[in-house]
Structure 1
Amino acid sequence: MSDERRFPRWVYGTGSDPDARFSLANERTFLAWIRTSLALLAGGVALEALALPVQPDLRFAAAVLLVALGVLAPVLAWISWARAERAVRQGTSLPAPSAFGLLVVGVVAAGGLVLVGMALA
Protein backbone atom coordinates (compact mmCIF):
# COMPACT_ATOMS: atom_id res chain seq x y z
CA MET A 1 0.00 0.00 0.00
CA SER A 2 1.41 3.38 -0.85
CA ASP A 3 2.12 5.81 1.97
CA GLU A 4 -0.27 8.35 0.40
CA ARG A 5 -3.24 6.08 1.19
CA ARG A 6 -2.27 5.22 4.79
CA PHE A 7 -3.85 7.06 7.71
CA PRO A 8 -2.76 9.26 9.39
CA ARG A 9 -0.80 10.75 6.58
CA TRP A 10 1.27 13.01 8.87
CA VAL A 11 2.70 9.82 10.41
CA TYR A 12 3.06 7.57 7.36
CA GLY A 13 3.97 10.35 4.94
CA THR A 14 7.38 10.85 6.56
CA GLY A 15 10.53 8.75 6.74
CA SER A 16 10.66 5.14 5.63
CA ASP A 17 9.05 1.89 6.70
CA PRO A 18 10.83 0.57 9.81
CA ASP A 19 11.39 -3.03 10.75
CA ALA A 20 7.88 -4.41 11.31
CA ARG A 21 8.80 -5.51 14.84
CA PHE A 22 9.07 -1.86 15.95
CA SER A 23 5.68 -0.93 14.52
CA LEU A 24 4.08 -4.01 16.03
CA ALA A 25 5.61 -3.28 19.45
CA ASN A 26 4.24 0.26 19.22
CA GLU A 27 0.83 -1.17 18.32
CA ARG A 28 0.90 -3.50 21.35
CA THR A 29 1.63 -0.51 23.59
CA PHE A 30 -1.33 1.32 22.04
CA LEU A 31 -3.57 -1.69 22.74
CA ALA A 32 -2.34 -1.82 26.35
CA TRP A 33 -3.52 1.78 26.74
CA ILE A 34 -6.91 0.75 25.33
CA ARG A 35 -7.15 -2.07 27.89
CA THR A 36 -6.26 0.43 30.61
CA SER A 37 -9.01 2.70 29.34
CA LEU A 38 -11.55 -0.12 29.53
CA ALA A 39 -10.46 -0.93 33.09
CA LEU A 40 -10.83 2.72 34.13
CA LEU A 41 -14.30 2.89 32.58
CA ALA A 42 -15.32 -0.37 34.26
CA GLY A 43 -13.99 0.82 37.61
CA GLY A 44 -15.88 4.09 37.37
CA VAL A 45 -19.13 2.38 36.42
CA ALA A 46 -18.68 -0.24 39.15
CA LEU A 47 -18.25 2.45 41.81
CA GLU A 48 -21.69 3.80 41.01
CA ALA A 49 -23.41 0.52 40.15
CA LEU A 50 -22.50 -1.39 43.30
CA ALA A 51 -23.74 -0.58 46.78
CA LEU A 52 -20.33 0.09 48.30
CA PRO A 53 -19.82 1.52 51.79
CA VAL A 54 -18.43 4.83 50.48
CA GLN A 55 -19.82 8.32 51.15
CA PRO A 56 -22.05 8.94 48.09
CA ASP A 57 -20.65 12.32 46.98
CA LEU A 58 -17.05 11.13 47.14
CA ARG A 59 -17.96 7.84 45.44
CA PHE A 60 -19.61 9.77 42.61
CA ALA A 61 -16.61 12.12 42.27
CA ALA A 62 -14.22 9.15 42.08
CA ALA A 63 -16.46 7.41 39.53
CA VAL A 64 -16.61 10.52 37.34
CA LEU A 65 -12.84 10.92 37.56
CA LEU A 66 -12.25 7.29 36.55
CA VAL A 67 -14.70 7.52 33.66
CA ALA A 68 -13.12 10.79 32.49
CA LEU A 69 -9.68 9.15 32.55
CA GLY A 70 -11.11 6.16 30.69
CA VAL A 71 -12.42 8.46 27.96
CA LEU A 72 -9.19 10.46 27.79
CA ALA A 73 -6.80 7.46 27.73
CA PRO A 74 -7.54 6.37 24.13
CA VAL A 75 -6.92 9.91 22.90
CA LEU A 76 -3.60 9.99 24.73
CA ALA A 77 -2.83 6.50 23.40
CA TRP A 78 -3.44 7.62 19.82
CA ILE A 79 -1.18 10.65 20.22
CA SER A 80 1.55 8.56 21.87
CA TRP A 81 1.31 5.88 19.18
CA ALA A 82 1.56 8.47 16.41
CA ARG A 83 4.53 10.26 17.98
CA ALA A 84 6.41 6.99 18.49
CA GLU A 85 5.59 5.65 15.02
CA ARG A 86 6.74 8.88 13.42
CA ALA A 87 10.01 8.82 15.40
CA VAL A 88 10.68 5.21 14.38
CA ARG A 89 9.98 6.04 10.73
CA GLN A 90 12.36 9.01 10.89
CA GLY A 91 15.04 7.14 12.80
CA THR A 92 15.03 9.65 15.66
CA SER A 93 14.86 9.15 19.42
CA LEU A 94 11.52 8.13 20.83
CA PRO A 95 9.62 11.00 22.45
CA ALA A 96 9.31 11.12 26.20
CA PRO A 97 6.04 9.77 27.62
CA SER A 98 3.61 12.63 28.01
CA ALA A 99 0.51 11.14 29.61
CA PHE A 100 1.84 9.06 32.47
CA GLY A 101 1.68 11.92 34.97
CA LEU A 102 -1.95 12.72 34.22
CA LEU A 103 -2.96 9.08 34.53
CA VAL A 104 -1.06 8.58 37.78
CA VAL A 105 -2.45 11.74 39.37
CA GLY A 106 -5.99 10.87 38.29
CA VAL A 107 -5.89 7.31 39.61
CA VAL A 108 -4.29 8.41 42.89
CA ALA A 109 -6.94 11.13 43.29
CA ALA A 110 -9.77 8.67 42.61
CA GLY A 111 -8.27 6.19 45.07
CA GLY A 112 -7.93 8.94 47.67
CA LEU A 113 -11.56 9.94 47.21
CA VAL A 114 -12.67 6.33 47.72
CA LEU A 115 -10.41 5.91 50.74
CA VAL A 116 -11.73 9.07 52.42
CA GLY A 117 -15.27 8.13 51.41
CA MET A 118 -14.89 4.75 53.10
CA ALA A 119 -13.63 6.38 56.29
CA LEU A 120 -16.63 8.77 56.33
CA ALA A 121 -19.26 6.14 55.56
Structure 2
Amino acid sequence: MTDESPAGAVDARFTLAAERTLLAWLRTALGLLAAGVAVLHVVGQFSSPALQTTLGVVLVLLGGLTAALGAWRWQRVTRALADGGPMPGPAAIWAVVGVFIVLAVAFAVSG
Protein backbone atom coordinates (compact mmCIF):
# COMPACT_ATOMS: atom_id res chain seq x y z
CA MET A 1 0.00 0.00 0.00
CA THR A 2 1.32 3.43 -0.88
CA ASP A 3 0.56 6.92 0.42
CA GLU A 4 0.84 8.42 -3.04
CA SER A 5 -2.27 9.96 -4.56
CA PRO A 6 -2.99 10.37 -8.27
CA ALA A 7 -1.57 13.58 -9.71
CA GLY A 8 -3.51 16.57 -8.43
CA ALA A 9 -5.69 14.56 -6.02
CA VAL A 10 -5.89 15.52 -2.38
CA ASP A 11 -5.13 12.77 0.12
CA ALA A 12 -8.48 11.59 1.50
CA ARG A 13 -7.15 11.79 5.06
CA PHE A 14 -6.78 15.56 4.77
CA THR A 15 -10.22 15.94 3.22
CA LEU A 16 -11.80 13.85 5.96
CA ALA A 17 -9.90 15.78 8.65
CA ALA A 18 -11.31 19.02 7.23
CA GLU A 19 -14.80 17.53 7.32
CA ARG A 20 -14.35 16.46 10.96
CA THR A 21 -13.30 20.00 11.79
CA LEU A 22 -16.44 21.33 10.09
CA LEU A 23 -18.51 18.91 12.15
CA ALA A 24 -16.86 20.26 15.32
CA TRP A 25 -17.84 23.80 14.29
CA LEU A 26 -21.40 22.60 13.67
CA ARG A 27 -21.58 20.84 17.06
CA THR A 28 -20.46 24.06 18.70
CA ALA A 29 -23.06 26.02 16.74
CA LEU A 30 -25.79 23.59 17.77
CA GLY A 31 -24.76 23.91 21.41
CA LEU A 32 -24.90 27.70 21.18
CA LEU A 33 -28.33 27.59 19.54
CA ALA A 34 -29.60 25.22 22.25
CA ALA A 35 -28.17 27.46 24.98
CA GLY A 36 -29.84 30.51 23.44
CA VAL A 37 -33.21 28.76 23.26
CA ALA A 38 -32.77 27.59 26.85
CA VAL A 39 -32.00 31.11 28.08
CA LEU A 40 -35.01 32.47 26.21
CA HIS A 41 -37.58 29.77 26.99
CA VAL A 42 -36.44 27.30 29.67
CA VAL A 43 -34.38 29.09 32.31
CA GLY A 44 -36.27 30.97 34.99
CA GLN A 45 -36.51 34.72 34.92
CA PHE A 46 -33.30 36.72 35.17
CA SER A 47 -33.15 39.79 37.37
CA SER A 48 -33.53 41.77 34.15
CA PRO A 49 -35.83 40.45 31.38
CA ALA A 50 -34.03 42.69 28.87
CA LEU A 51 -30.69 41.13 29.78
CA GLN A 52 -32.18 37.63 29.49
CA THR A 53 -33.55 38.39 26.03
CA THR A 54 -30.29 40.00 24.94
CA LEU A 55 -28.15 37.08 26.11
CA GLY A 56 -30.50 34.53 24.55
CA VAL A 57 -30.61 36.31 21.22
CA VAL A 58 -26.82 36.79 21.20
CA LEU A 59 -26.33 33.06 21.83
CA VAL A 60 -28.68 32.15 18.98
CA LEU A 61 -26.99 34.61 16.62
CA LEU A 62 -23.55 33.38 17.68
CA GLY A 63 -24.68 29.83 16.91
CA GLY A 64 -25.67 30.86 13.41
CA LEU A 65 -22.43 32.80 12.96
CA THR A 66 -20.38 29.85 14.18
CA ALA A 67 -22.05 27.53 11.66
CA ALA A 68 -21.40 30.02 8.86
CA LEU A 69 -17.76 30.57 9.90
CA GLY A 70 -17.19 26.82 10.09
CA ALA A 71 -18.59 26.30 6.60
CA TRP A 72 -16.53 29.22 5.26
CA ARG A 73 -13.33 27.86 6.84
CA TRP A 74 -14.06 24.34 5.55
CA GLN A 75 -14.49 25.71 2.04
CA ARG A 76 -11.22 27.68 2.28
CA VAL A 77 -9.32 24.70 3.69
CA THR A 78 -10.70 22.40 1.00
CA ARG A 79 -9.72 24.89 -1.69
CA ALA A 80 -6.25 25.34 -0.17
CA LEU A 81 -5.73 21.58 -0.09
CA ALA A 82 -6.78 21.23 -3.72
CA ASP A 83 -4.92 24.25 -5.06
CA GLY A 84 -1.92 24.28 -2.74
CA GLY A 85 -2.74 27.78 -1.50
CA PRO A 86 -2.39 29.19 2.01
CA MET A 87 -4.55 27.82 4.81
CA PRO A 88 -7.01 30.22 6.45
CA GLY A 89 -5.72 32.14 9.44
CA PRO A 90 -7.10 32.10 12.98
CA ALA A 91 -9.09 35.37 12.78
CA ALA A 92 -12.50 33.64 12.77
CA ILE A 93 -11.51 31.50 15.74
CA TRP A 94 -10.34 34.53 17.72
CA ALA A 95 -13.58 36.35 16.92
CA VAL A 96 -15.67 33.49 18.32
CA VAL A 97 -13.41 33.24 21.39
CA GLY A 98 -13.83 36.98 21.98
CA VAL A 99 -17.60 36.72 21.89
CA PHE A 100 -17.44 33.74 24.29
CA ILE A 101 -15.47 35.86 26.75
CA VAL A 102 -17.95 38.73 26.51
CA LEU A 103 -20.85 36.32 27.04
CA ALA A 104 -19.12 34.71 30.02
CA VAL A 105 -18.68 38.09 31.66
CA ALA A 106 -22.29 39.04 30.89
CA PHE A 107 -23.59 35.83 32.48
CA ALA A 108 -21.30 36.30 35.49
CA VAL A 109 -22.58 39.80 36.23
CA SER A 110 -26.23 38.91 35.54
CA GLY A 111 -26.35 36.26 38.26
Identify the TM-score tier after normalising by the shorter chain.
Answer: 0.7 to 0.9
Tell me which amino acid in the other structure corresponds to 2:81.
Answer: V
Mapped contact 2:37–2:56 kept (Cα < 8 A): yes
CA contact (8 A) 1:80 1:97 kept: no
State the SS of the aligned residue for 1:99: helix
The alignment status of 1:22 with 2:7, answered yes or no, reads no
Give runs of aligned pairs for residues 64-83 of structure 1, distance below 5 A: 64-83=57-76
Residue 40 of structure 1 aligns with an amino acid whose one-letter code is L
Query: CA separation in 1, counterparts of 2:30 and 2:54?
Result: 18
Alpha carbon RMSD of aligned pairs, Å?
1.8
Unmatched runs of 5 consecutive residues or more in structure 1: 1-14
* One-letter amino acid of the counterpart of residue 25, structure 2: W
Which stretch of structure 1 is more off in the superposition, 107-116 or 68-77?
A: 107-116
Distance 2:47 2:76 in 1: 40
What is the alpha-carbon distance in structure 2 between the residues aligned to residue 81 and residue 44 of structure 1?
25
Scaled by the length of structure 2, what TM-score is found?
0.83
1:112 Cα deviation from its structure 2 partner: 1.7
Percent sequence identity over aligned pairs? 38
**Equivalences, count:** 104
4+ aligned runs moved over 4 Å, structure 1: none
Listed as ranges, the gaps of 5+ residues in structure 2 are 1-6
Q: How does the TM-score come out when normalised to structure 1?
A: 0.77
Superposition deviation, residue 110 in structure 1: 1.8
